[in-house]
Structure 1
Amino acid sequence: DPCSSNPCKNNGRCENRGSSFSCLCPEPYAGTTCQKVKDMCLEKRCHRADCLITLTPPYFQCSCSHPYQIPDCQQASSPCRPNPCKNGGICIRHRIRSKFTCQCPEPFRGRFCEIGLNDCYEEASSEYRGRVNQAVNGKTCLHWNSHVLLDHPINAFMEDADSYGIGEHNFCRNPDEDEKPWCYIRKNGKVEWDFCDISPCSETGKELEMSSEESPWLTDSPTNPTGSNKIFKTCGQPEIQKTLKRIYGGAKTAAGKHPWMASLQIKSSKRSKHFCGGVLIKACWVLTAGHCIEQPAENLQVALGKQDLRKREHQEQIFDVEKIIVHHRYRDKDGVPLNDIALLKLKPVDGHCAVETKYVKTACLPNFFFPAGTDCFISGWGATERGDISHQLLDANVKLISQTKCNAPRAYDLLLDESMFCAGNLQRPRADSCQVYSGGPLTCVENGSYYVYGLVSWGDGCGLKNKPGVYTQVTTFLSWIKSKIGSESRS
């Protein structure tokens, strides 16, 4: 009897066909011995989500991201009611109805503040059973039971999946005993794998010891073990505090008033050429606009402490660029840059990156939002009212404008998304951020400290009525910044 050995897997029923057999397979299984899982998603529509295979009727499910709801992820509930953020996180609702951000208290992170310091991997990383579901490149992991993984050797339906911690979820795992936990992701329409944004437990212990009033990733540990270099103990604290005049409509600024200002330059055998601004946020890290990055790292250098681009100055610090990280979702859509942000990792000189001086300091990163009407400041080497480019560092005062006014039909007519904001004056255009110093910071003050709230991104013309400057909203990308700097520091 060919059925005596029960050749049918997954509870399939064997039927004797004389010298052969056939298996009657329960849903969702198929194949000669019921060894395969059928793709139950071929004719299903999940709209904004991935389609998952399940072992219970109807044998598929859409993996709706909050606040979209099952069955088909088309309807969105209120993103912040009830509060989806865990561990005391604050839910901040964005302009677009479905968008929200969880503002996480230290040391929690993750989209819902669900990941704590104890969510780390031990030396035997194949035993990791935590809840991190993000790759080091910032992409969200695919569910192990996603229909796109059915043809991959590792998925929720492989033999002994449970013993590897793999099931109907998208948490990082290490079933093949690689160097650390990993997951599958979608990249450019293809399925790839990548390591996850998880620290070894030995490192998170050190982070716990470092915890202070400020997040450990906003300040720097010494880059020079001898202690001969000053380190960045604070952020956003210029030593020069003069009244800012009202760089279009701007005025020359005193040296040291914007000590976090960076000049991005194309290297040359003669004089290096400034092409974009940036802002120093850590000793080895400069934040800038994604659209500024058109050259490879080896062609670039970053000048800190600069006042006059035409001169060599005693206070300047010059660094080559070791690595460029442009946001993975950066793209240009009809002239509007989306997710317009990038990080430059500076190449150390004599074992250290930037050294804190009167003229070189870091700006703070905000984990909160400033209201419309707040007076903020732009700085850079930009266009003057005569139309030429200033070699002197200029600054100007601008007001934050509400998203509603920026997106009005006579202004930008819904071109701004939640990763952008505008600032200036709609009716009386004076101070404006022109494209010649893209990437530079817009800083706002809270309790005496300067926070880099925006990066000069785009705009229509220069100083035109109803066309204020548009900036990248830095708060939207805090987790991305933290992820990239953190993964680089561990590599």
Structure 2
Amino acid sequence: MPVFSPVLTRREFLLLTLISLVLLPRLQCAGWRKQPPGIDIFVSGQSNRLTQKVFTTDGKECKFPFRFGGVIYHHCISMNSHKAWCSLTHNFDRDQKWGFCSSQAQLFNGFLPPHRGPSLCRQKPCLNGGVCVTAAHLNSFDCVCPDGFTGALCEKKKCYEPLHLKYYDIGDSWGRIYLRSVELCTCLSGGVSCERARYTVCFRNRCENNGVCRMIEATGEEVCGCISGYNGQYCNINPEEQCYRDSGSQYRGVANVTVSGSSCLPWNSDLLFSELTVETVESATHRGLGEHAFCRNPDQDKLPWCYTMTGRAVSWEYCNIKPCSKPVSGHRSPTVAPRPFHSPTKTPSCGKRQEKRISRGRILGGTSALPGAHPWMAALYIADEFCAGTLVSSCWIVSAAHCFLSNPLNSQIRVVLGQHSFNDTGPNTRTFAVQDYILYPQYTQFEPTLNDIALVKLKKVERRCALKTPFIRPICLPGRDVTFPDHSGCKISGWGHMHEKADSYSNLMEGVVNIIPFDQCSSPDVYGSDVRSGMLCAGR
């Protein structure tokens, strides 16, 4: 039985020169409106009364918000499909369950501007500190609830378990060890109800920091009893830890806010898929991960970090935690005799990226890239036009010659490195003027697919060009003897348009394409004589 995907099934081939595939990956992607995550509800125009849910044509309920291509959607969408569709779970990337929306569902196609008319949020419908966000279509809004509250209007209070440092929804049950008694608790509308439970000793003790483990017979749940100073499901959280040492890989505190003030997503969030989570990281609990949203460093980065929502895309940031001050010692270090100098093997500094995702196979249509995943990408703003390029050394960018057909002045060109969102110069970006640009001598606008290469030289700032950071780093150039076998996968990235009618750009996108055999790509029914020697053909 064929498996349908809402991505269009028409085979598309991407014709690329060798330099374009390796150095100038360009992915066409859609522009998305920024909007924080929340629970999608439909209301009447006269009050905040809940009026309807959204169902598919076969009667199944749409789940909002849902993740598709690393981006969060709150409405039925028509992207890459001729009909509006929605996900049947909160994570389409993971579960691949979907359905066509019924004709009564209001459509959000991903390209509508934000509603600027009378805002339903002026009525302040969200309770208990919830944030109201007007949806893209009329007569609808979202309530983004703070910790401790839930419901369409944030009207329901959750139950807080101090031993686990987490909130539970109404109806949830959990086990705990309280005052040496094993209990089974339930969150009710009026509060928490706990009763003593029969238990046995765990077959294997997964509790850390000298915690004891018990298994509740009625549910099979294993619970930990923690010694003083530790909390959490596995006794691996230290609420008193206020700073991090070294790289913070052993930090087990409760900080949950990033340097920009964003709140962290839980490490078991239903909106995560290919990211580093409780399910994907080996020995996750020993690395500090769990059913919480506290800052951690499970991948040996330079300091603790967490996943966040930036606009409507899953992203990540370093956390707002101070390093622990080093103790001042009154003793002088002993003098050590100098050793013979041996020149160490130089490790290439190019091509390093922030790996905050694991390989999950290909996601049709590509996915929103995480910051630092492609640190060599350069955004070129040329007068009123936009192009992309690749940083190949501190002062040089490789781009496409057709971007400079209008012969712009150097003063009309601006290069932004470290950019993630289109036209957004955040804290990780650096902006440079251009000293010069050089087109390949044999390039001509009459054959724009041939020799479409340009070099752009950055103008130095304080006698330096681009400095290496986790978000800015040159790509590694391939050697002369490097070959690209047929059908091998190549990762591409870029800003642009995914939809032919789109008129705006987006976050940086990434995807994987396979190299297609030359004979197949140059056949008359594909590209024919347009494919020349020295070109690569890739697609899906």
- TM-score normalised by structure 1 residue count: 0.37
The structure showing larger relative contact order (alpha-carbon pairs under 8 Å, at least 6 residues apart) is 2
- TM-score normalised by structure 2 residue count: 0.33
